[in-house]
Amino acid sequence: MKNEFTEKIKELINSVPEGKVATYGQIAALAGNPRAARQVAWVLNSSSRKDKLPWFRIINSRGTISLPRGAGFEEQKSHLESENIAVDEKGRINLKQFGWLHI
């Protein structure tokens, strides 16, 4: 198929186990394009609604929530905490402990 890259991104996101988080860069790299992290975010934004992907398990390389306050930050934080993942006030997460794949 033509956009197997996008399809693979969805598969990878669905592969993230509960209680773990992955970064855009990791997903992009596993999908075959380490540079297409932005595309991962785009796919999430467009597919999370219809495909119900665990978008809340995807964070940026700094190990923090990328969403701004009032635009999903609170929501994502709640989802993560529901899976026993520690998130501080600034949205920071300990990747050493909760990271799906170790960088």
Partner DNA sequence: AACCTGACTTCGG
Partner DNA sequence: TCCGAAGCCAGGT
Q: Answer yes or no whether residue 46 interacts with DNA by CB under 7 A.
A: yes
Q: CA-to-CA distance for 12 and 7, rounded, in angstroms? A: 9
Draw the binding track, 52-91, toward DNA (x: CB under 7 A; -: no contact). Answer: ---xx-x-xxx---xx----x---x-------------x-
Residue with tokens 């520690």: 86
User: What burial class does residue 18 get, using C-beta atoms within 10 Å of its C-beta: 0-12 exposed, 13-18 middle, 19+ buried?
Assistant: exposed
* Both tokens assigned to 14: 């669905």
Q: Least Å distance between CB 35 and DNA?
A: 4
Binding residues for DNA, rule: CB under 7 A, are: 3, 5-6, 23-25, 33, 35-42, 44-46, 48, 55-56, 58, 60-62, 66-67, 72, 76, 90
